[in-house]
Amino acid sequence: MSIISRTKDLVGGVMGFYANQRKRMLPMMEKLVEDGQRPHALLITCADSRVVPSLIMGSEPGDLFVLRNIGNIVPPSYVRSNDKSVGAAIEYALEVLHVPNIVVLGHSDCGAMKALLTGQDTGLRHVDEWLRFARASRMRHMEDEDFSRDMPDHDRLSQINVLEQLEHLRTYSVVAERIATMSVTMHAWWFQMNESRVYAFDVRKACFVPLEELYPVLDPETQVLVAEIEQNFKAES
């Protein structure tokens, strides 16, 4: 594929937005500009192009404050890092936007986890410097061989990495304060791409389970929808 055709696809996407979505979006965006953003979650997820938060979570503009990087990694607040963007996003989300939820969303087939699993440098300087913040995840993966033992190693590491990043989040004073006052809820989620299904960590079972099994659904109409979705998943398996 030529550079020109790739650029054509990129610009064509914007033109498609203008033609199909812009008119519907204008009133919503005007209101968001007037009233400001009030997202209901800080979502920390991977930069992988196959992970599309708005698609997965059915969100609209203003719903999510999204932080994306290689491997959905949160450097602990006590380590030296030239990258201040993660800490800045966490502070802004909690201190200014007052989000009530923090979600760390990992995913299957993660290239960062595959690289981390080897224990060797990739030869990409910035990537290698960044992945060092997830070395604790690799150590945890090596020590806990029973966790999700039926999964491929890189997916098992990806799930463990989600849990480890929640621990890193707790090292930020602003997060610890919100947890202490019960003004923020932490969520560990994982997206299985070839199923297009979200899993959530169940503390009681110490494993990731389909999201709808963990979170109670109070709306009757949504309950019917969840039941239909569960039947579809069973039929496909």
Q: Using CA atoms, how far apart are residues 219 and 216, in angstroms rounded to an integer?
A: 9
pLDDT value for 215: 79
Between CA 219 and CA 137 the distance in angstroms is 37
What is the pTM assigned to this prediction?
Answer: 0.89
| pLDDT at res. 219 | 61
β-partners of residue 66 are: 43
Q: What CA–CA distance (Å, rounded) separates 178 from 191?
A: 26
Which tokens go with 86? 């993660």
The neighbouring-strand residues paired with 188 are 104
Please tell me the predicted confidence (pLDDT) of residue 97: 97
Q: Tell me, what's the pLDDT at 2? A: 64
Long-range contacts at 232-235 (CB < 8 A, ≥ 24 apart): 233/195, 233/197
Q: Is residue 200 within 8 Å of residue 208, measured between CB atoms?
A: yes
Instruction: Choose between 42 and 223: higher pLDDT.
Output: 42
